[in-house]
Structure 1
Amino acid sequence: MTPVVVLTGMSGAGKQTAARSFEDMGWQVVENIPPRLFSPLLAGMPKDEPLCIVNDVRSGEFEALPAGILSLSVVPTLVFLDSRDEILIRRFKETRRPHPFFFEAGGILPAIALERARLTSLKEQADLVIDTSGMSMPELQAFLRERFAAPEHQQQPITVTVASFGFKHGTPLDADLLFDVRFLRNPYYNQALREKDGRDEEVRVFVEADERTGAFLERLYDLVGWSLPHYIAEGKAYLTIGIGCTGGKHRSVMISEKLSAFLKALGYRVLTQHRDVERR
C-alpha cells in the first residue's frame, strides 16, 4: 500500500523545508494541486512509492482539502506545521515574502490571524502537529526523517558523490571538498600502464607501492569519516568530494575507488564518478 502524507499548515511554518526533506527521503512530492485531483494522482503512482502532497492556502481550492483527503483510496497521514505568531512575523520579515493574506487582511498580523482561523478545523483533524517555533531547519529535517524515513535514509541521510578528475581539464564546479593526489607515484610514465586506468588491478598495485599512498588514505578516511556526521547535523543531503590528479585517469581514479569503498562500508549512499577517465 502506498504511504501518503498530506502536508499543510501555517504560511512560514516550514512547509518548503519539510517538502525538501521528503524529497531527500525518496518520496514523490507534489505541491498545491487541486484536492479534486488527489485521487487520480494516487491512482497513477507506482505501487509502494511514497507520496507527499503539499497543500496550503495558496491553493485556489484549499477549502476542498478535507474532501480531497477523503477521496483517497488509502488513509493518509495529515501533517500540520505550526509556529508562534512572533516567529512567523520574524520569518516573513527576513524573507521579505508577503503573506498570502497580507493585502486581503490589511497587514501581517491580521493576515496570520485570518489564516489561523481558517485552518483551525484542519489542525484539529491532523494526525501530527509540529510546532517549528524553536526548530532549526536541520532539526525539522531530522524530526521528519526519524518519523517517516525508510531505514536506509534514517541511518545515513546523505548522498556522497566521489568524483575523480584531471586538473589539466579543470576542477569540478560542484565539489564541496577537493583533494590533490598529484604527489603520488604516476602510472602514466609506465608504458605498460599508460592505457589502463585506476580501476585496473595493475594500476592499483603500482600506486599502492608508493609508501605515501597508505599514509594519505589513512588520513583521508579519518577526515572524511569524521566530517560527514557534522554535514548531516547541518542538514546537508548531498556532498561531492573531488579527487584530482594530472589527467584524471590513474591516481585520482584509484583513490576515488578506495574512498568510495570505505564510505559504502560505513553505510553511506555513494555515487562514484570518473569524469576524465575516457579522455585521450
Structure 2
Amino acid sequence: MQNKLHIEIHSFSYKKGGIPKDNTENGGGFVFDCRGILNPGRIEEYKIQTGNDIGVQEFLETKTEMPNFLKSIQSLISISIENYLSRNFEHLQINFGCTGGQHRSVYSAIRTAQFIKEKYPEAEVSVHHDEQLHLNLSSISDN
C-alpha cells in the first residue's frame, strides 16, 4: 500500500513567531524568506488587508518581483516533491516567512498550494497561516 505524501505549507512572521516547528520525524523542510519582496503592508490601503485579499494579490502580482520569486520556488520544490512521491515519503513542510506574516507570506503559501494541487494531485496539501491564526484566536478570546 502506497503512503500519501502530505505537504504542509505555513505562512509565518519572522518578527512574531519565527520559523514553524516541524512536528514530524523529518525535522524540517523548506523555508523561504519573502522579505526581499516589496511589502504591501507599508502602503496605507493594504495595511489592514492580507495576502487573501484581491488588492494585495494584484499589487504583489503587478508591482513586485513576486511572480519570479514564486516561479523559482516552484522549480525548486518540484524536485523534492517528485522525489518524495517516487520514494513514498509521507511528509514535506514548506514555510514562507515575512515581517508580519500577513501579506507576502500568506500570498506565497496560497499560490504555492494552488500550484502543488494542480501539478501533483496525488499529494495532499494543507495550508496554515500561523500569524492569522494568532490574530483570530486573540480576537475570539477578547470577546
TM-score range, shorter chain: 0.7 to 0.9
**Secondary structure, aligned partner of 1:227:** helix
Alignment RMSD: 1.7
Equivalent position of 1:158 in the other structure: 5
**Secondary structure, aligned partner of 1:249:** coil
Q: Does the alignment pair 1:269 with 2:116?
A: no
Contact 2:38 2:64 in 1 (8 A): no
Computing the radius of gyration from Cα coordinates, the structure with the larger value is 1
Q: Which has the higher contact order (CA 8 A, sep 6+)?
A: 2
| In structure 2, distance between residues paired with 1:255 and 1:158 | 20
Q: Does the alignment pair 1:198 with 2:45?
A: no
Equivalent position of 1:171 in the other structure: 19
Q: Does the alignment pair 1:237 with 2:100?
A: no
Q: CA deviation at 1:239?
A: 1.1
**Secondary structure, aligned partner of 1:168:** coil
Identity between Structure 1 and Structure 2 (%): 28
Q: CA deviation at 1:226?
A: 1.9
Structure 2: any 5+ residue segments left out of the alignment?
23-27, 139-143
Q: Which residue type is aligned with residue 276 of structure 1?
A: E
Equivalent position of 2:66 in the other structure: 213
Q: CA deviation at 1:212?
A: 1.5
Contact 1:184 1:210 in 2 (8 A): no
| In structure 2, distance between residues paired with 1:251 and 1:165 | 10
| In structure 2, distance between residues paired with 1:243 and 1:210 | 19
Contact 2:37 2:64 in 1 (8 A): no
Please list every run of at least 4 consecutive aligned residues from structure 1 whose deviation after the TM superposition is greater than 4 angstroms. Answer: none
Q: Does the alignment pair 1:189 with 2:36?
A: no
Equivalent position of 1:106 in the other structure: none
**Secondary structure, aligned partner of 1:254:** helix
1:85-96 pair list within 5 angstroms: none
1:28-43 pair list within 5 angstroms: none
Structure 2 CA distance for partners of 1:211 and 1:189, relative to 1, 3 Å: closer
Number of corresponding residues = 127
Structure 1: any 5+ residue segments left out of the alignment?
1-143, 146-152
* Counterpart among 109, 133, 139 of residue 256 in structure 1: 109
**Secondary structure, aligned partner of 2:44:** coil
Q: CA deviation at 1:231?
A: 2.1
Using structure 2 for the length normalisation, give the TM-score. 0.81
Q: CA deviation at 1:211?
A: 4.1
